């Protein structure tokens, strides 16, 4: 009798895990919503994920599928000339070249004191630059005195 209950419990768990994977797909990878859909607690999901490698693999495949969809849409937006998509792609694919941290904010007017040593000249110049275009700090690093 006890063996029948254990087998029934394993079958029920197996069915619920399958339903969870379907619910995860239908809820675009949202774990909370998938748990609600099949009426299990999030802790149950995390226990299943740790205990059953095949289940974890199926859940990861759902997440990878969503990433593939997002990447495809990003590529489409880049091809369509969407500026934000282009910037996002460049910043994430070529961080060393297009990093946002190298750009000064685009607000108002910036007064920059540039110091450079010239033979026989004073090393001090002051420039006022309107910031309608960002200034790359890399281009000025040698000239900026901290």
* Distance in angstroms (rounded) separating the CA atoms of residues 1 and 6: 9
Over residues 13-50, the pLDDT tens digits come to 889 999 999 999 999 999 999 999 999 999 999 999 99
Sorted by where each begins, the domain ranges of the chain are 2-93, 103-140
* Distance in angstroms (rounded) separating the CA atoms of residues 31 and 25: 10
Indicate if the pLDDT at residue 63 is higher than 90: yes
Indicate if the pLDDT at residue 113 is higher than 70: no
* Distance in angstroms (rounded) separating the CA atoms of residues 44 and 12: 13
User: Which two three-digit tokens encode residue 58?
Assistant: 């199926």
């Amino acid at each position: 009798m006890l063996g029948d209950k254990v087998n029934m419990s394993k079958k029920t768990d197996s069915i619920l895990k399958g339903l969870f994977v379907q619910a995860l797909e239908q809820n675009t990878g949202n774990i909370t919503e998938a748990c609600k859909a099949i009426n299990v607690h999030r802790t149950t999901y995390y226990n299943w994920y740790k205990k059953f490698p095949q289940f974890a693999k199926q859940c990861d495949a759902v997440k990878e599928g969503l990433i593939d969809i997002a990447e495809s849409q990003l590529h489409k937006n880049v091809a369509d000339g969407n500026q934000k998509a282009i910037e996002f792609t460049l910043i994430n694919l070529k961080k060393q070249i297009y990093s946002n941290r190298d750009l000064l904010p685009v607000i108002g007017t910036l007064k920059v004191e540039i110091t450079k040593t010239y033979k026989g000249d004073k090393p001090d110049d002051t420039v006022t630059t309107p910031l309608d275009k960002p200034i790359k700090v890399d281009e000025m690093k040698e000239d900026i005195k901290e």
